[in-house]
Chains A and B, each alone.
Chain A
């Protein structure tokens, strides 16, 4: 299925929950989805007969611009062989987003990683802990304003 068809289908169901489709950007077209509706969108994408996005290829947390974080979903369908990119903007002042880990089990660890490194909170995630960094690490390194701490548990960090 072409991306425009998928987009139109979603737009019909979710209306304002889906932002405009950007096709002129290099390299692949994408669109934004509302962060408070992403779980429903994900469920629709997975279960709709003509879409069947059964696989979440990648979930990336990004420090998107000055005011926003973003979560980027790269979806793929083994059944139908098409792929899709969905993004969700999250304001830095209130970094919360719905989880999709109940839709795709793959999202479980990816969301933990995004929480760990970029610092958005996935609401409804069953076990949102740090995954790569130590539990008592402070800050989220992949934020652009992140400063490497001087000391970690009394050990000097920059060497």
Chain B
């Protein structure tokens, strides 16, 4: 009997596809339902961020960083501003530091909520998605109260903040903390520990620790592989060393360490830790003027600085080279999603199409961050 002739099927997933989280294109080579090769094609959202920055002054770059990872603007701003301040040698007032931390942690919750919601959506559960977005809306309302914008804030300035917070913001934030704690449990009940959801994610796309470290994977994706590393704890940028919080790692409660479920659950538990940080910070904000350290003219010396921060997606770093003029000579953004995505081929080979969707979702990528 002659062999049955079979062919490999090439499928183009994206740039327009509901579960590529933006305009990412994956060229899948399939053997039946089994994926034999994944080729990511990037660049559909490339906006020349780095080129633009060379024509801007330092404060003008901040709105551009907003648009990099648009679900996570506060953390983007913070990373860039910290790098610029390091270059300028500015010490910002205590009040500014506290408010920055609160904002970034609120942003982290918002970003993780999107990650969890869309991940549920990838798995076919649409309801948790809306629950998450409902809570995210509350966070965005808090931001709106402070700076008027809901998504792209331009809030953290070099040397300060664009607006001071109001007492109303403090009470609203406390209310939010009280409201949100039980909601995390609810989301866990609804999605994280759902039998079908665990079946779909546990044991899928296992990313071993050494591969993860070598490939530059960071953030919840790295911690899902069991590496207990968080720049907030280990690098202590800003004032994170003053707060008491735990670093969540995937510990293989379901599935194996490093699989999709563990990457996912790290985010679910990190929201709780963010709440703890906000709780500690919100009561201790010192008095002061948030714009007292904002320089009139930002003109750093010749030199360069590199600051790494823990954004919700992973290690977000800015590398700024100054030539002593008003415009930065070169800005390079080390985006977490870019590095995290690069392992997708390695860990999705041999899985099914549906698993590729789950693996991609478990990285929590944002294309604005990858393509810059």
A and B touch in the complex (CB under 8 A): yes
Q: Point out residues on A near B: beta carbons under 8 Å.
A: 25-28, 54-58, 60, 62-63, 72, 74, 76, 78, 81, 85, 104-106, 108-110, 113, 117, 130-134, 141-142
B47's nearest neighbour on chain A, judged by CB, is A132
Residues in B neighbouring A25, C-beta threshold 8 A: 303-304
B51's nearest neighbour on chain A, judged by CB, is A141
Within 8 A of A (CB), among B20-57: 42-43, 46, 48, 50-51, 54
Beyond the given pairs A26-B87, A57-B216, A134-B43, 16 more chain A to chain B contacts, judged by CB atoms under 8 angstroms and listed by A's residue number, are A26-B300, A54-B214, A55-B214, A57-B315, A57-B317, A63-B330, A74-B306, A78-B213, A105-B343, A106-B215, A106-B342, A109-B338, A110-B216, A110-B339, A130-B43, A132-B371
What's the Cα separation between A132 and B42 when bound, in Å?
6
Residues in B neighbouring A58, C-beta threshold 8 A: 306, 317, 319, 332, 334
Name the distance in Å between A58's Cβ and chain B's nearest Cβ.
Answer: 4
Most buried by B among A25, A27, A54: A27
Q: Is B372 an interface residue (CB 8 A)?
A: yes
The contact of A131 among B42, B48, B321, B330, by CB within 8 Å, is B42
Q: Contacts A26-B301, A28-B305, A105-B214; is A133 near B332 (CB within 8 Å)? A: no
The contact of B46 among A54, A72, A81, A132, by CB within 8 Å, is A132
The contact of A142 among B87, B315, B330, B343, by CB within 8 Å, is B330
Q: Contacts A26-B303, A57-B315, A109-B338; is A104 near B214 (CB within 8 Å)? A: yes
Residues in B neighbouring A133, C-beta threshold 8 A: 43, 46
What's the Cα separation between A63 and B50 when bound, in Å?
12
Cross-chain contact B87 with A54 (CB below 8 angstroms):
no
Cross-chain contact A105 with B211 (CB below 8 angstroms):
yes
Name the distance in Å between B56's Cβ and chain A's nearest Cβ.
Answer: 15
Q: Is B3 an interface residue (CB 8 A)?
A: no
Q: Is B313 an interface residue (CB 8 A)?
A: no
Within 8 A of A (CB), among B48-80: 48, 50-51, 54
Q: Contacts A57-B315, A132-B371; is A105 near B216 (CB within 8 Å)? A: yes
Residues in B neighbouring A55, C-beta threshold 8 A: 213-214, 216
What's the Cα separation between A28 and B229 when bound, in Å?
23
Q: Contacts A105-B211, A105-B215, A141-B48; is A60 near B43 (CB within 8 Å)? A: no
The contact of B342 among A54, A60, A72, A108, by CB within 8 Å, is A108
A77's nearest neighbour on chain B, judged by CB, is B213
Residues in A neighbouring B371, C-beta threshold 8 A: 132
Instruction: List 14 A-B residue pairs with CB atoms under 8 Å apart, sorted by A's residue number.
Output: A26-B87, A26-B300, A28-B306, A54-B210, A55-B216, A60-B319, A63-B330, A74-B319, A105-B216, A110-B339, A132-B43, A132-B46, A132-B372, A142-B50
Name the distance in Å between B290's Cβ and chain A's nearest Cβ.
Answer: 24
What's the Cα separation between A107 and B302 when bound, in Å?
27
What's the Cα separation between A155 and B280 when bound, in Å?
55
Within 8 A of A (CB), among B206-228: 210-211, 213-216, 227
What's the Cα separation between A74 and B306 when bound, in Å?
8
Name the distance in Å between B307's Cβ and chain A's nearest Cβ.
Answer: 9
Name the distance in Å between B46's Cβ and chain A's nearest Cβ.
Answer: 4
The contact of B214 among A28, A106, A113, by CB within 8 Å, is A106
Cross-chain contact A62 with B330 (CB below 8 angstroms):
yes
Q: Contacts A85-B306, A131-B42; is A104 near B216 (CB within 8 Å)? A: yes
Name the distance in Å between A129's Cβ and chain B's nearest Cβ.
Answer: 10
Q: Is B86 an interface residue (CB 8 A)?
A: yes
The 5 closest A-B CB pairs, nearest first, are: A106-B216, A26-B303, A58-B334, A60-B332, A105-B215
Q: Is B234 an interface residue (CB 8 A)?
A: yes
What's the Cα separation between A81 and B213 when bound, in Å?
13
Name the distance in Å between A131's Cβ and chain B's nearest Cβ.
Answer: 6
Cross-chain contact B305 with A27 (CB below 8 angstroms):
yes
Name the distance in Å between A90's Cβ and chain B's nearest Cβ.
Answer: 15
Cross-chain contact B334 with A62 (CB below 8 angstroms):
no
Q: Contacts A27-B86, A133-B46; is A106 near B330 (CB within 8 Å)? A: no
What's the Cα separation between A134 and B42 when bound, in Å?
9
Residues in A neighbouring B54, C-beta threshold 8 A: 142
Residues in B neighbouring A74, C-beta threshold 8 A: 306, 317, 319, 334
Residues in B neighbouring A113, C-beta threshold 8 A: 338
A74's nearest neighbour on chain B, judged by CB, is B306
A127's nearest neighbour on chain B, judged by CB, is B39
Residues in A neighbouring B234, C-beta threshold 8 A: 81
Cross-chain contact A62 with B42 (CB below 8 angstroms):
no
Q: Is B108 an interface residue (CB 8 A)?
A: no
Q: Is B267 an interface residue (CB 8 A)?
A: no
Residues in A neighbouring B305, C-beta threshold 8 A: 26-28
Q: Is B308 an interface residue (CB 8 A)?
A: yes
Residues in A neighbouring B338, C-beta threshold 8 A: 109, 113
Residues in A neighbouring B300, C-beta threshold 8 A: 26
